[in-house]
């Protein structure tokens, strides 16, 4: 993600601290994408870019911005490393999809977004309204747009000025007013006004608003509509005294919302664990804040679904997971197999229990679990069910030699999953890039560990996916620019 100027939207080039366009000091940057598999030979991730690398990347993107293929230009328009002047150029492209993509790029300059706010295509204007970089004055103008979808996007933006939100609160279209009701930027007086709307959906929107005043929270906690009370009950910012009030609500859905709220006080969770309604107890069972002793008590009951939610809970203690691993209910055992906290020895035993065809879902859960022992993953890689083998292929803990075997699987869905796994070695990716099935090659375009030569091969058929990658290397972009312009 490029650093950009909050004043004019220009991208930071090199290590400069001031905007080359308007002179404003840069105030921050989005975090770069992390490569969870670490440094790899030939992968596109690398050390922080230098001024020379930025210049080379800009040159390649400029060349691709003039390409005759609209998908290529869309890829340039989507890349957050694209220079601000190139994005400005693409904002006048004859292809509305290119302009639409520029409108959604967080690196697009505010003056370019202002230009696109007058675009004849409503989809482009909607995207401008939804871009976090769009200036408040531009949003103010779009608040009077003739298209309902544009006005709704303006109402949903955190940067929309208060006077524009007041205007939109009286909009003829219900969806626009509802967006205002849900916006955390809406002034308190407007929220109080909307809270008295004759339309229940509008009042519900206010109830779900994270920026609503405390007085409204208390008002809605006693609302006659159970859905409104439920939304207050599930909000982690709701005060404890209101949660206590709602924990005794006559409606089970409201009590269930309190039971599932991670901010609910422990004593209330203990109380709700004995609720007469099983759905409330299930919510307590799935709450990561529920104490261990309460979880141990809940698994002693006859309700399979309560035990199911305890088995799924990431906070469930190991001794309880061991107990549930031999539960009579298949769904409970499947959740234990998928729980990252389940001990290795229990996972190994689970494979023997799930060996028959009727337990395919259970084996999939095992295959997806990163804590599953390597020897179990090796066995699951030869499973007769392609879904199980695909799950193994997606697991970041799967050994490289197993990935190599799965890369030659008879089912393209399995090979496609190997191609998208960031742990797949580079030489195997080079093999899969020539796979005869398109779904394999297409899935590969999302892999963050692709080397430059593989990206270049993929660019011929998937230019949008490749050129828009924020991690695409300078070498790959340059090679793509040269080869594609040569072929055009």
Write down the pLDDT at residue 382.
95
- The C-alpha torsion from 416 through 420 and 426 to 428, rounded to 10°, is -20
> Is 127 in contact with 108 (CB distance < 8 Å)?
no
Write down the pLDDT at residue 261.
97
Nearest to 324 by CA among 288, 289, 300: 300
> Is 176 in contact with 151 (CB distance < 8 Å)?
yes
Write down the pLDDT at residue 484.
63
Write down the pLDDT at residue 74.
94
Write down the pLDDT at residue 413.
97
The H or E element spanning position 243 is: helix 240-246
> Is 427 in contact with 449 (CB distance < 8 Å)?
no
Residue 280's contacts (CB-CB under 8 Å, 6 or more residues apart) are 252, 255, 256, 259, 272
Place of tokens 């066995």: 379
> Is 267 in contact with 274 (CB distance < 8 Å)?
no
Q: Is 18 helix (H, G, I), strand (E, B) or coil?
A: strand
Beta bridge partners of 25: 18
Q: How far apart are CA 385 and CA 414, in angstroms?
A: 10
Q: How far apart are CA 378 and CA 472, in angstroms?
A: 33
Residue 359's contacts (CB-CB under 8 Å, 6 or more residues apart) are 330, 353
Nearest to 441 by CA among 463, 461, 470: 461
Place of tokens 């840069």: 26
Q: How far apart are CA 329 and CA 307, in angstroms?
A: 9
Sequence-ordered alpha helix ranges (H) in 66-198? 70-78, 84-90, 96-104, 110-116, 122-130, 136-142, 148-156, 162-168, 174-182, 188-194
How do the pLDDT tens digits run along the chain, 488 residues long?
Answer: 333 333 344 433 333 333 434 433 332 333 333 333 333 344 444 444 567 777 888 888 898 999 888 998 999 999 998 999 999 999 999 999 999 999 999 999 999 999 999 999 999 999 999 999 999 999 999 999 999 999 999 999 999 999 999 999 999 999 999 999 999 999 999 999 999 899 989 998 998 888 888 888 998 999 888 988 999 999 999 999 999 999 999 999 999 999 999 999 999 999 999 999 999 999 999 999 999 999 999 999 999 999 999 999 999 999 999 999 999 898 898 899 889 899 988 888 877 777 766 788 888 988 999 989 999 999 999 999 999 999 999 999 999 999 999 999 999 999 999 999 999 999 999 999 999 999 999 999 999 888 888 988 888 788 888 888 877 777 777 777 776 666 65
Q: Is 451 helix (H, G, I), strand (E, B) or coil?
A: strand
Neighbours of 329 (CB within 10 A): 15
């Amino acid at each position: 993600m490029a650093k950009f100027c909050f004043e004019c939207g220009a991208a930071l080039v090199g290590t400069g601290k001031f905007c080359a366009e308007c002179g404003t000091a840069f105030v921050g940057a989005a975090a770069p994408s992390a490569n969870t598999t670490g440094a790899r030979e030939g992968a596109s991730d690398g050390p922080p870019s230098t001024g020379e690398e930025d210049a080379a990347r800009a040159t390649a993107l400029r060349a691709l911005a003039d390409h005759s293929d609209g998908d290529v230009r869309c890829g340039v328009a989507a890349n957050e490393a694209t220079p601000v002047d190139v994005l400005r150029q693409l904002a006048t492209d004859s292809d509305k999809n290119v302009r639409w993509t520029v409108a959604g790029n967080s690196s697009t300059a505010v003056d370019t977004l202002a230009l696109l706010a007058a675009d004849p295509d409503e989809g482009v204007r909607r995207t401008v309204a939804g871009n976090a970089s769009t200036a408040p004055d531009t949003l103010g103008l779009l608040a009077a747009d003739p298209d309902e979808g544009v006005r709704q996007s303006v109402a949903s933006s955190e940067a929309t000025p208060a006077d524009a939100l007041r205007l939109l609160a009286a909009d003829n279209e219900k969806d626009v007013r509802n967006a205002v009701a849900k916006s955390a930027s809406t002034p308190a007086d407007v929220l109080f006004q909307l809270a008295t709307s004759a339309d229940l959906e509008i009042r519900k929107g206010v109830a779900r608003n994270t920026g609503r005043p405390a007085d409204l929270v208390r008002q809605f906690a006693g609302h006659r509509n159970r859905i409104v009370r439920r939304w207050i009950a599930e909000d982690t910012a709701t005060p404890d005294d209101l949660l206590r009030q709602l924990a005794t609500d006559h409606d089970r859905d409201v009590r269930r919302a309190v039971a599932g709220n991670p901010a609910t006080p422990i004593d209330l969770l203990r109380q709700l664990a004995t609720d007469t309604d099983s759905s409330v107890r299930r919510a307590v069972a799935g709450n990561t804040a529920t104490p261990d002793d309460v979880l141990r008590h809940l698994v002693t009951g006859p309700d399979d679904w309560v035990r199911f939610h305890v088995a799924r809970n990431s906070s469930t203690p190991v001794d309880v997971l061991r107990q549930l691993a031999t539960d009579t209910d298949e769904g409970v055992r499947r959740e234990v197999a998928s729980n990252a906290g389940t001990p290795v020895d229990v996972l190994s035993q689970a494979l023997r229990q799930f060996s028959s065809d009727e337990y395919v879902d259970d084996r999939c859960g095992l295959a997806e679990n990163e804590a599953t022992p390597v020897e179990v993953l090796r066995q699951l890689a030869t499973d007769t069910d392609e879904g199980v083998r695909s799950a193994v292929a997606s697991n970041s803990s799967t050994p490289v030699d197993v990935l190599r075997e799965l890369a030659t699987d008879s089912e393209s869905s399995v090979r496609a999953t190997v191609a998208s796994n960031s742990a797949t070695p580079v030489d195997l990716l080079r093999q899969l890039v020539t796979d005869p099935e398109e779904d394999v090659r297409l899935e590969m375009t999302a892999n963050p560990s692709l080397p430059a030569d593989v990206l270049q091969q993929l660019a011929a058929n998937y230019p949008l996916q490749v050129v828009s990658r924020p991690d695409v290397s300078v070498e790959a972009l340059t090679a793509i620019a040269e080869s594609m312009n040569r072929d055009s």
